[in-house]
A and B are shown apart, each in its own frame.
Chain A
Amino acid sequence: MQTINIVMANFLTTWFDKLKETFLTDDNYKLLLTGLKNTLIITIGALAIGVVIGTLVAVLKYFSDGVPSLSPVSFICDVYTTVIRGIPVVVLLLIFFFGILSSMNGIAVAIITFGINSGAYMAEIIRGGINAVDKGQMEAGRSLGMSKLQAMRKIVFPQALRYILPAIGNEFIALLKETSVAGYVAIIDLTRGGNLIRNNTFDQYNPLAAVAIAYLVMVIGLTQIFKLIERRLSKSEKR
């Protein structure tokens, strides 16, 4: 018993010293903080862009379906979702960073790229949510004299939200983790921050463990938040 305690204590002291060395030399921990900040900025920015693009594409698609004169709109929406979903986001990021948007600041490029990427998935999520609402709801709205847009805004979309929100929660989490490839274009995100510390200190474990734990904690936190929102939503709907 005694020996085990001593071994434990020794191990902890050594580990603690190692942590100090790894994270405090040259203010290495600041790399993690900068990384975390950038990861959050990119994720939230991309999410905002994704929601806007996704809603727009889904609604455009809804209104152009079955209207011959709007078939080009529908076609463009289809091309967007198909192309974007068919290309790995890293490739997209490289194309934007070194090509199309090469004059722009890296984080801005990342926000735009991840936003455009996630918009394609959001569009499908939102379209699915809209389609899950009973057709009779739109008809009831129209029969009262609402325009298609009015009925969409007041009647269909609020009901679609209950299908959409949980999926958007998942997309948010996926996005957060996906941004870990931002390091490919020289952005210091959480992952690259950790990796830089590993490089600087030759500590192969602790920096990456810290990164992993940071992601895990954020994902668990987000999951809880979305659960709470969902519960609120279903309560207020009383269905």
Chain B
Amino acid sequence: MKILVCISSVPDTTTKISFTNNNTALQSNGVQFIINPNDEFGLTKALHIKEANPGTNVTVLHVGPNSSDPVIRKALAIGADDAVRINVEAIDPLQVAGEIAHYVKANPYDLIITGKESIDYNGAIVAHALGEMLGIPSVSPCIGLSINGSEASLTGVVDGGKEELTASLPIVVGGQKGLVEEKDLRIPNMRGIMQARTKPLNVVEASGSKEAQKVVNYDTPAPKAACKIVDANNVDELVRLLQNEAKVI
């Protein structure tokens, strides 16, 4: 079986976000970039499937410039077999999905795993757009997946609960925590890091998928006013404030 895991490269979750150039660009000096956390659950799931099905190959794919190579190498160190980087700045979720679809049409996969959402631009768009572009089903957010021959059983998240589904491969799955558990995530060891240096990272040129939108500029949320501290022995005061001042209850 051939599995493709799409990863985005995002600011470390501890990053305080700020902007530069008249608020037209993310301030990325000193920012540590990591594999999008949702994608790490997907990558780990792919490795579980590979371990249970000998002969399976796991490819990671990223759309972006060579500044993302360290993040791709990390995915290889965690255990992916090879990597593909589509060499273009990612600026729009449909452009990213278009580039991935273009690549997959020429290089078919049985299972394509993305994250449910990239934690930088919070699109939650790529998984389903990719499914539509390829004319195959997509389940995202997905918190359960098992593969039996050419059939997949999936657990999708729906508002207020979950849904059990089945589909024939190929499919697109948008992962998050639950696809595997937090404790299943793998930290690259020295051997993995050494091997990652020699695993193939193929750079391919973009098909020129059109972008539909651009960011004009950014804002950060206005800072909160100081917190009003209420005495622990006077909860009635808190209730009064919530009722009369904040007007939320």
Q: Do A and B bind each other?
A: no
Q: Using a CB–CB distance below 8 Å, which chain B residues touch chain A?
A: none
